A and B are shown apart, each in its own frame.
Chain A
């Protein structure tokens, strides 16, 4: 599983940081930062899906592989 963050769409709602702090951090302006490059560890898959399905701006997408 891979997580993708569209920084242009992110408006700093901070939902991802609250739900999956292992995968997302936030900068000084509250914008999301993706911490996991490449494959997301198995144990974080649920959190990744949760973060993606709670972003009000649809800035997070998940792909299975690639």
Chain B
């Protein structure tokens, strides 16, 4: 237990601002005062601002050094080459005028430094897009914002509400259930003719695993999986579209509220009920806070793990020697799992610059975006020997696939388990497979195959 979780010195007062009609909440905690606005985030206010937007500014990238855009369709398929080229060309931090201004550290040292520096870099928004929260948006756990988008001192309180549900000993018991799910998905591929049958390992397999697991943990109806996936797609991939065109969020808010009400009427033991009953300072969380946490779990838990599973299978389809080693020596999975995570880390996070600062000669201005490409940090030759080689039994591997510092991925234990089981079941069923056509990669901060046709060469009896 750390004392930062205590809130006994905090006090809250609320008033209505006469000019705007907004509700203002003042929080005094540990002799510091914070003023926040409660509202529905209209554009151009202190809660939500859109950056100047012109669709013509978001065309093809000619030079990633000065016009970096991770939403360029050429980026994700070639990201390791882009990082290498920039680093070797003497560009440890790239820049872009897109999204209202964005910096991109590319070395392990610079990524680490930003991740640890919560004074100069805020997590108020972690997905780069054409709008950004203002200074007075309410942080979790007082507002609807989950811990991933909060900073100290509030971050720890919000995070500790969720941590126990994702601790290793709570996640381990899910292993047999995830095995059954993976086997069911493999069964549903129907009759496979070795050497002929082509399956889509992303669409028919990888994408279904995390969405099913998190839906079950939350106690949501299985039939709604497609809805979660669409929502997550809107949040993570359509980042450079005209503001106001990404309307899925409102629908999801309504849907989650219905699920919360259903849990209230029909209490059951699952993660949604846990969140509805957990107490902070003796009070249960408001529905909008529970909803914010649920949205976090959906956004953070689906595309990410799906991408890691897909990339790992993409690798194995091209490296039968690694595939064979895993079959011959299943214990090597302990190291292979981390090597998949290092070499194919799916998640790039983001920060906003909290105050003007000079970052190794980069004049960072308040409200500039900073992209945090942990996958690039994982392939920095200053940190990893032979970083672009996949070494199935790499023993020393301090990779940052789950981030570094206080925002370490909350679901890392679940993600690891899903990735491990998904790979094990796939290679057990299909001891040999190869790429069969074009892989389509995602767009944006989460990197992984969205279409991954593979030809099955052998089926286990």
Q: Which positions in A face B, CB cutoff 8 Å?
A: 11-15, 17-19, 26-30, 50, 53-58
Contact = CB atoms under 8 A, between A and B. Distances in A.
Given A30-B166, A53-B395, A56-B400, 11 more contacts: A11-B405, A11-B408, A26-B168, A30-B167, A30-B168, A53-B398, A54-B338, A54-B396, A55-B398, A56-B398, A56-B399
Contacts of A15: 338
B412 A14 contact: yes
A30 B163 contact: yes
Contacts of B163: 12, 28-30
**DSSP class of B's interface residues: helix, strand, loop or mixed?**
helix
Contacts of B214: none
Contact of B167 (A28, A50, A54): A28
A15 B166 CA distance: 15
B334 interface: yes
A54 B396 CA distance: 6
Nearest to B401: A56
A26 B166 CA distance: 12
B223 interface: no
**DSSP class of A's interface residues: helix, strand, loop or mixed?**
loop
20 contacts: A11-B404, A12-B408, A13-B412, A26-B168, A27-B167, A28-B163, A28-B164, A28-B169, A29-B160, A29-B164, A30-B166, A30-B167, A53-B395, A53-B398, A54-B338, A54-B396, A54-B398, A56-B404, A57-B404, A57-B405
Interface residues of B, number: 22
A46 to B, nearest CB: 10
Contacts of B405: 11, 57
Contacts of A29: 160, 163-164, 167
B26 interface: no
Interface of B: 160, 163-164, 166-169, 334, 338, 395-400, 402, 404-406, 408, 412-413
A16 to B, nearest CB: 11
A17 to B, nearest CB: 6
A49 B103 CA distance: 37
B395 A14 contact: no
A14 B168 contact: yes
Contacts of B398: 53-56, 58
A53 B395 CA distance: 8
A5 B402 CA distance: 20
A28 B167 CA distance: 6
Contacts of B395: 50, 53
Given A54-B397, A56-B399, A26 B169 contact: yes
Contacts of A54: 338, 396-398
Nearest to B398: A56
A17 B314 CA distance: 29
B336 to A, nearest CB: 13
B406 A11 contact: yes
Nearest to B407: A11
B413 A30 contact: yes
Nearest to A7: B2
B404 A14 contact: no
A15 B408 CA distance: 13
A54 B395 CA distance: 8
A14 B172 CA distance: 13
Contacts of B406: 11
